[in-house]
């Protein structure tokens, strides 16, 4: 899987798979470990309100049906992530 940022995801054709009338749930995770993902910080934004510091984060996984995206807290992301 190619590394890409939240900015790249939201500016791709995949953005149409989200319900853009609802807020996106953005989970900020430290690693791809299950425990970390279950205890992630959650922020909710409409697509046009997402702050720049989140747009620069690397995406781990997108859940289109749940209107949710997991991004890494650190700039480089998790070394265990599929690359």
* pLDDT at res. 81: 47
pLDDT, tens digit, 9 for 90 and up, residues 14-60? 999 999 999 999 999 999 898 888 889 999 999 999 999 999 999 99
Q: How far apart are CA 6 and CA 8, in angstroms?
A: 5
In the three-class reduction of DSSP (H, G, I as helix; E, B as strand; rest coil), residue 81 is classed as coil
Q: What pTM value is reported for the model? A: 0.81
Domain boundaries, the chain: 6-72
Contacts of 1 (CB under 8 A, 6+ apart): 82, 83
pLDDT, tens digit, 9 for 90 and up, residues 56-78? 999 999 999 999 999 998 755 54
Across 1-83, the runs of DSSP E, i.e. the strands, are 24-29, 41-45, 59-63, 68-72
Reported confidence tier of residue 82, pLDDT bands at 50, 70, 90 = very low
């Amino acid at each position: 899987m190619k590394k890409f940022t939240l900015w790249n995801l939201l500016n791709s054709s995949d953005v149409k798979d989200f319900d853009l009338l609802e807020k996106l749930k953005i989970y900020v995770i430290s690693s791809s470990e299950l425990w970390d993902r279950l205890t992630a910080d959650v922020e909710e934004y409409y697509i046009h309100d997402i702050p720049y510091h989140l747009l620069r984060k690397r995406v781990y996984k997108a859940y289109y049906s749940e209107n949710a995206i997991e991004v890494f807290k650190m700039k480089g992301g998790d070394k265990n992530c599929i690359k």
